Structure 1
């Protein structure tokens, strides 16, 4: 179904979205609103997309709850969104659940966190060109379990370089939230090169 508009305030040319499904249109417009800092619009659009079955939109709602975008921080709701999306292999949901178990948002369980990071890493290997999700999954393994990367047939230095390039690419494409992640990836790469 083609849409003539998303809402009265945000008209667009439907030809621009000819290849996208309705849920993908809502997801993309929600992401644009999020990057612009219009979290209320982003949440509304993500929710519409998630209600249509879009797993990425559900994962993005988790971020909104976790970081308190337009409403109070609610880590329980973030966890619920990420658990639902992780079932379908959403990479950010898998590693964000790993973060919650590592950093104590949930009862700390480093073994479970490790398993989640490894799962996200393996999923990311199948999606290496997706610079919006793969570098973050790679970075967690690089920071906490670099010795295991070679078990999967990859050099930690190559994975770290891939992270830096990917994060730079998404920043160049307008991602306003990846500056610290880029600094972390560069630090990991420098450390690996110095060893």
Structure 2
């Protein structure tokens, strides 16, 4: 069949096309429901998206299990979600597993926690424009292992500024869960500024 258009006239941007895939639609609708506090809808949509292979949805589902968002708290299921997502490179899943080892949800192991935080940090520096997860990875390293940041060739002050800026962006876009994280990031930033003076 002959087309009545010249294919070169259309510029198909892969990113725009990817955003329209069904797994991402479910993910975004689930995130919107989560922000509204409609956790049942969020869980249903995250499960659909995760079943289609979306690792962010799988990681987000871990949050629902961990915090008991309209379902009983199930830290084993949260860990399972985060382990699967972490293997595939999801930044939030990596640092949340680090939290589980740090705070004793899993047998406390600060070496594992440190390694996971460092891995999340490295992933975040490659995806620093993702202000929904990169700032949290940055903040963990700034709080617990700041010397590692300098050893990896990064400026602690620059990372802290990026952290605060990213968290402010997501709050401006309607994130209802980041006020405490922003306060922590500002405290770290002010401490670093004081050290420079």
TM-score, structure 2 length as denominator?
0.89
What is aligned with 1:87?
Answer: 87
What is aligned with 1:23?
Answer: 23
What is aligned with 1:10?
Answer: none
TM-score, structure 1 length as denominator?
0.90
Q: Does 1:143 align with 2:143?
A: yes
Cα displacement string for residues 110-162 of structure 1 (whole angstroms, at most 9, x for unaligned residues): 00000000000000010011100100000000000001101222110110010
What is aligned with 2:112?
Answer: 112
Q: Does 1:52 align with 2:52?
A: yes
Sort the Cα spacing of 1:68 and 1:155 in 2 relative to 1 into closer, same or farther, 3 A: same
Structure exhibiting the larger radius of gyration computed from Cα positions = 2
Contact 2:46 2:58 (8 Å CA) reproduced:
yes
What is aligned with 1:178?
Answer: 178
Q: CA deviation at 1:21?
A: 0.4
Contact 1:131 1:167 (8 Å CA) reproduced:
yes
Q: What secondary structure sits across from 2:177 in the alignment?
A: coil
For 1:19 and 1:147, the matched residues in 2 are separated by 38
Contact 1:82 1:93 (8 Å CA) reproduced:
yes
What is aligned with 1:191?
Answer: 191
Q: Which runs of 5+ in 2 are unaligned?
A: 1-15
Q: CA deviation at 1:72?
A: 1.0
Contact 2:142 2:188 (8 Å CA) reproduced:
yes
